[in-house]
Amino acid sequence: MLKALPLNKRGIPASRIALGCMGLGGDWDHEPITAENVKQGHEAVDAALSIGINMFDHADIYTRGKAEKVFGQIFKDRPRLREEIIIQSKCGIKLMEPGDSTNTFDFSGQHILNSVDGILSRLGTEYIDILLLHRPDPLMDPEEVASALHQLKAAGKVRHFGVSNMSAAQIKLLQTYCDEPFIVNQLHMSLAKISWVDAGISVNREPWKDIIFPEGTLEHCRMENIQLQAWGPLAQGLFSGRSLEDQPENIVQTAAMVQQLADEKGTTPEAIVLAWLMTHPAAIQPVIGTVNPKRITACADADKLELSRKEWYDLYVSSRGSKLP
């Protein structure tokens, strides 16, 4: 039986799976959203709701703000929807514009405040349920961040806060200065992105030095009741129908194993891939990135499946491409 989500333990009635909305809004340009973009959004929302998903994950940069604009139109078309779902968004990345040489990260207080005002305007709502700080900013002043988050909470614009792509040490630094608890950490985790598992089994072994996943991050989140969310949990379809041409043998073999398990359990490869994450006792919440209704509904069985310890390890070792010590 799956463990309750840390979010649920905090009284937030989030679904076991969330829908990531990065695919909404069309291209990453400055063109206005279209009726077709909005139609696609409605279809994705309907598919998500049909399998019990009530949490939707955004970021201010997704399709340069157009993903949130699509959702804003959905709220206009369905005004009761806002109070029936949980909205999470992120800020802190500044996308490259003409004349820039790179994207940059910005956790300055003013940028955070301005970003949230933009998010609320595009969504057409007075508040968001959770705001995540998107990627670590090397120039971050935690006291400045704390002041901005305090202002957002006091104004009723954000109910809860979290982070994305951060280590335990980075979370601890922020939490030292912030009164509000950080309740989410969204990380890249999937059956293809397994460094979060490798980090734990490789302590005091030679391979550990080559693993960049920060040691202790999962453990810290579990101890502090911080919701671990997995972005990219479907591994861009590697194990559920995407072409495997030019993929390494371990990926090909793992895809075959996933399909075999799906056939044996009478479900879909997508459900098996998500169930592998959700079997972990950390109560990981996958944030699926597809907005294709068929692929969304293909995930329906994920929270009903139980993988045995052997099945879990067989998938892990196959993806890893090497036996455990």
The catalytic residues are 62
Domain assignment present for residue 226? The answer is: yes
Q: What mean pLDDT comes out for the span 36-62?
A: 98
User: Closest Cα partner for 305 from 58, 47, 17?
Assistant: 17
CA end-to-end span of the chain: 29
SS3 206: helix
Domain assignment present for residue 204? The answer is: yes
Domain assignment present for residue 314? The answer is: no
- Using CA atoms, how far apart are residues 128 and 268, in angstroms rounded to an integer? 33
Domain assignment present for residue 141? The answer is: yes
Question: Percent of the chain at pLDDT above 70?
Answer: 97
The domain of 211 spans 6-244+270-303
pLDDT given for residue 294 in this prediction? 98
What's the total number of domains in the chain? 1
* 213 CB neighbour count, 10 Å cutoff: 19
Helix (H) or strand (E) holding 89: strand 86-91
Which pLDDT tens digit goes with each residue over 164-222?
999 999 999 999 999 999 999 999 999 999 999 988 887 666 655 556 788 899 999 99
Which pLDDT tens digit goes with each residue over 74-129?
999 999 999 999 999 999 999 988 888 999 999 999 999 999 999 999 999 999 99
Domain assignment present for residue 201? The answer is: yes
Domain assignment present for residue 254? The answer is: no
List helix spans (H) across 214-248. Answer: 217-223
Query: CATH no. for residue 195?
Result: 3.20.20.100
Domain assignment present for residue 73? The answer is: yes
For 176-195, what is the HEC assignment?
Answer: HHCCCCEEEEEEECCCCCCH
- Using CA atoms, how far apart are residues 59 and 307, in angstroms rounded to an integer? 32
Domain assignment present for residue 325? The answer is: no
Which pLDDT tens digit goes with each residue over 257-296?
999 999 999 999 999 999 999 999 999 999 999 999 999 9
pTM recorded for the entire structure: 0.96
What the block records as the tokens of 323 is 């036996």
